[in-house]
Amino acid sequence: MKYRIMVTGAAGQLGYDVVKTLEADGHHVLGCDRDQMDITNQQQCTDQINAYQPDVIIHCAAYTAVDQAESDIDTAFSINAVGTRNITVAAESVKAKLVYISTDYVFDGMGNSPYQEYDETNPQSVYGKSKLAGERLVQSLSTRWFIIRTSWVFGSHGHNFVKTMLDLMEMRPKLQVVHDQQGSPTYTVDLARLIAELAVSEKYGIYHASNAGSCTWFEFAQAIAEEGTKHGTFQAAVQIAEIVPCTTTEFPRPAPRPAYSVMDHMGIRTNGLQAMRPWREALIAFLHELDTE
């Protein structure tokens, strides 16, 4: 069966691959970015969604400037909470399913075993608090919802850690990378495939979705260097940077980062869905994708 699906934040890193995946599956897709629909404007959301009459809305649009959010609280909540409310109310009025993309930042990062979907949330940053507010509005205002929490996202269509490291490794002799934050990298192509599968199901609820396994940012950077070298990503004549571990306190940032944000994929397992491949395999696939662009 082919669905009418609206994707918010369609020009973003994840939204881009979600649209691509859904179109490849043969669905009728309307990708909206801020130019087509300002999610903080309730009337615009209502009008657009009423006009399109989607079966499913995949809500990727978000305020994701984690550090900026600490001093721009109203904007973060306007987009991540009020904007999400506007989308949810309009979705409910046309009886559309809603898929809301959330984050590992809803947890405090003080644990030492993978977070499960129904563990207590305790966000420490404005960004995390605003995304949790969005989750709560979805749960209270929609009757058919999916919440997908993800982490450490990288894809070809946007800025991310992998692209930054690939650039810096060729430009600098030495790179310091944080070694006391642990999480799970997530490739947008793999996440988009899971979203597409869930969106046409009735397996509602909260899901944790990241590539399998975990690492620190330092270990992730090491893997980028190793796989990039094997793959011939770097220019032949370039000596790539030495990567050195450092602590979070050596690089203070306005927003606190979760020290441990590995997520358990219980929702994926218990609903009979396919686990996402190991993050290192996903990284290799991403390097191949960058090659073909």
Residues forming the active site? 127
Q: Look up residue 260 and give its DSSP letter.
A: B
What are 57's strand-pairing partners? 6, 98
Other CB atoms within 10 Å distance of the CB of residue 108: 19
Q: Per residue, what are the HEC states of 25-91?
A: CCCEEEEECCCCCCCCCHHHHHHHHHHHCCCEEEECCCCCCHHHHCCCHHHHHHHHHHHHHHHHHHH
d(CA 12, CA 142): 24
Residue 151 tokens, joined: 């982490």
CA angle at 198 for the pair 192 and 203, rounded to the nearest 5°: 155
